[in-house]
Structure 1
Amino acid sequence: MNEEWTKVIPLYPGIKLSYLAFSSDSLSVHHKARAHIIQIHCCKEGQLVWDMGNGNHVYLNPGDFSLHTMKACTDSVLTFPSGTYQGFTIYIDLQEASRNPPELLKNSGVFERILSEKFCLDERPVFLAGNEQTESIFSAFYHQPERLKLPYQKIKTLELLLYLGKTEFTSKQQLSEYQAEQIRIVRKIHDQMIQHMEQRITIEDLSRQYLINPTTLKAAFKSIYGTSIAAHIKEHRMEQAAKMLRQSKMSIAEIAQAVGYDSHSKFTAAFKAYFKVLPKEYRKQ
């Protein structure tokens, strides 16, 4: 088993950050019960099933995140279904952060009241589906110039805390085990279609393969990717075709086949509708 925990990075009094990466199937975690410390965990790559040992579970896919106290996960087991995993955790000591809050959060009530009332009233973890706003926050924790890493970590942590403070989380935003499994399936279907654009796979075929209702599949896909399956895959087909026109010497007919069009004329019409120019003209640009 390969595992990597970065050293703990102090951000503010009572607030610390740690990155983690695993090449493993599972990991057992044991620590003291600390009800005054909150963990905010974000999944970057892979999947995480977190068995808290007290009957509570967390299920995370890329972009999803969870919140719970360190009392909730005292003796727990982390399972990584894909065999690899990357993410990061922000640790917040509510007592220390309340005494010495970051300047921008003074008198905000984030540490004294908001976090504890929203996420610490019982020992049940909360896990939430990511969205465009959280993605813009989480992505900035990675791929920054060395000299700017700490400033970005500190600023984005404050932005995340402000987001958690202002957002009223509904039951629709909070993932259940069933919803998390749906998201995992839909993302797997998405990856399959993108990796095999030469194939024309129907929604009915996918629903049978993955044992998911077609109506549920269409609704879940749109909620995650913001558009219909057909529109989303067409966009990827057109972008891939444009890339092949620029970078390869394949004929237009071969490119059409490679992105799932048996008819040269249908491909040409679809390409022109998308890029406002014929494929042969696009290649000349």
Structure 2
Amino acid sequence: MTELTLSTGHPVPLKPAPVKKFRGTRLPGADLRQAIEDTYTVSFHHFTTDLFQISLRNFVCTSEQSFRVTETIEYMRLETVLTGELHIKNPDGSETNLLPGQYRLTDEKSYEFEIKPSQGCQYFVVYIIPALLEQTPMGETIQPSESRMMSDTMREVIHRILDNPFEEKLRDASYDYRIRELLFYHISAPPFTMPGELTPAEIAAVYAADAIIAANLNVHYTIPELARMVHTNVFVLKTGFPKLFGVSVLDRLLQRKMDRAKYLLETTDKQIQEISELSGYETPTGFINAFKKIFKISPKDWRKKSRGLM
């Protein structure tokens, strides 16, 4: 499906790797290929169905690197950056700088991009197979387009895809539902207007910090630590989170934890202890107390209520 080389033409030696040993954001149920070289590490997670394919790609470089992607099958793709940035050089000579919070639809078969050593890049790709477009109402309106801001609803759909908690059959059904949901929001969402007080780079930094928080609920990063990780300053995060999410950085972490806990309580039969761990709490007691403080109800009763049992 995807061939990856350096811009010099030298192949990037991606080889199958054990998923269980991988440290970082994973794509549940996906195959993993990695290339670990002196100047770069590349990880490709790839999940395939008859109607769509999903890819999560991570690049970490010790020096500036240029890569070339060649797609062997011409499917339209939705591409969005989670962290870092993707400086894309298209075959027609045009350039696209894709930042966190932005996405594009493209059917380009081949393109080059640069990765900065200080940032690296993690990006998410959906391959939209023509049969899926045929099944999608107004699917004919889904066409290649320039980069644009992603709505909060679309970002949450991608978060749910990466946070898929189900076993195989339900996992695959969840992916199918979420991909269709993503396309629906692309079709239906009006142009997304960002706060004028923030620059595009500052908006991207806030979205990148939010992605790091969502992927590491068990780690309580300080605001200075987050700022260093996304190459901005403390002021941008302190002012940007309330503007984009309506809450502070700390409250966003708590919000993310509770969102995951509610989702797991409502959609799975996992034990409270496991849910507390997956939601970033060290002990079930700490989780239960935090949950009760916010929702005035215990996690067990929340589960019962969500299923109409009380």
Task: Report the TM-score range of the alignment, normalised by the length of the smaller protein.
Answer: 0.5 to 0.7
Q: Which residue of 1 is the match for residue 110 of structure 2? A: 74
State the AA in 2 paired with 1:42: T
State the AA in 1 paired with 2:42: E
Task: Quote the Cα distance in structure 1 between the aligned partners of 2:246 and 2:184.
Answer: 25
User: In the superposition, relative to structure 1, how do residues 81 and 186 fare at CA in structure 2: closer, same or farther (>3 Å)?
Assistant: farther
Shift of 1:157: 0.2
Q: Which residue of 1 is the match for residue 43 of structure 2? A: 4
Q: Which residue of 1 is the match for residue 148 of structure 2? A: 127
Q: Which residue of 2 is the match for residue 89 of structure 1? A: 125
Query: In proportion to residue count, which structure has more helix?
Result: 1
Q: Which residue of 2 is the match for residue 155 of structure 1? A: 177
SS in 1 for 2:94: coil
Equivalent pair of 1:4/1:20 in contact (CA under 8 Å): yes
SS in 1 for 2:142: helix
Q: Which 5+ residue runs of structure 2 have no aligned equivalent?
A: 1-39, 213-219, 225-230, 256-281, 287-292, 295-310
Q: Deviations over 1:138-158 (max 9, x none)?
A: 122124234432111111000
State the AA in 2 paired with 1:115: I
Task: Quote the Cα distance in structure 1 between the aligned partners of 2:207 and 2:111.
Answer: 30
Task: Quote the Cα distance in structure 2 between the aligned partners of 1:92 and 1:21.
Answer: 21
SS in 2 for 1:169: coil
Q: Which residue of 1 is the match for residue 79 of structure 2? A: 41
Shift of 1:174: 11
Alignment of 1:269-280 (within 5 A): none
Task: Quote the Cα distance in structure 2 between the aligned partners of 1:87 and 1:37.
Answer: 18
Task: Quote the Cα distance in structure 2 between the aligned partners of 1:187 and 1:127.
Answer: 14
Q: TM-score, normalised by structure 2?
A: 0.50
Q: Which residue of 2 is the match for residue 252 of structure 1? A: none
Q: TM-score, normalised by structure 1?
A: 0.53
SS in 2 for 1:161: helix
State the AA in 2 paired with 1:58: N
Q: Which residue of 2 is the match for residue 204 of structure 1? A: none
CA RMSD of aligned residues (A): 4.6
Task: Quote the Cα distance in structure 1 between the aligned partners of 2:88 and 2:132.
Answer: 28
Q: Which residue of 2 is the match for residue 139 of structure 1? A: 159
Q: Deviations over 1:194-248 (max 9, x none)?
A: 7457x9xxxxxxxxx9689x8x88764432231468x959x89xxxxxx9xx98x
Q: Which residue of 1 is the match for residue 88 of structure 2? A: 51
Equivalent pair of 2:80/2:104 in contact (CA under 8 Å): no
Q: Which residue of 1 is the match for residue 138 of structure 2? A: 109
SS in 2 for 1:153: helix
User: In the superposition, relative to structure 1, how do residues 226 and 155 fare at CA in structure 2: closer, same or farther (>3 Å)?
Assistant: same
Alignment of 1:128-277 (within 5 A): 128-131=149-152, 133-142=153-162, 143-144=164-165, 145-170=167-192, 172=193, 178-179=199-200, 181-186=201-206, 195-196=221-222, 220-227=240-247
Q: Which 5+ residue runs of structure 1 have no aligned equivalent?
A: 200-208, 237-242, 248-273, 276-285
Task: Quote the Cα distance in structure 2 between the aligned partners of 1:137 and 1:109.
Answer: 20
Task: Quote the Cα distance in structure 1 between the aligned partners of 2:56 and 2:107.
Answer: 17
User: In the superposition, relative to structure 1, how do residues 185 and 9 fare at CA in structure 2: closer, same or farther (>3 Å)?
Assistant: closer
User: In the superposition, relative to structure 1, how do residues 28 and 184 fare at CA in structure 2: closer, same or farther (>3 Å)?
Assistant: same
Equivalent pair of 2:115/2:121 in contact (CA under 8 Å): no
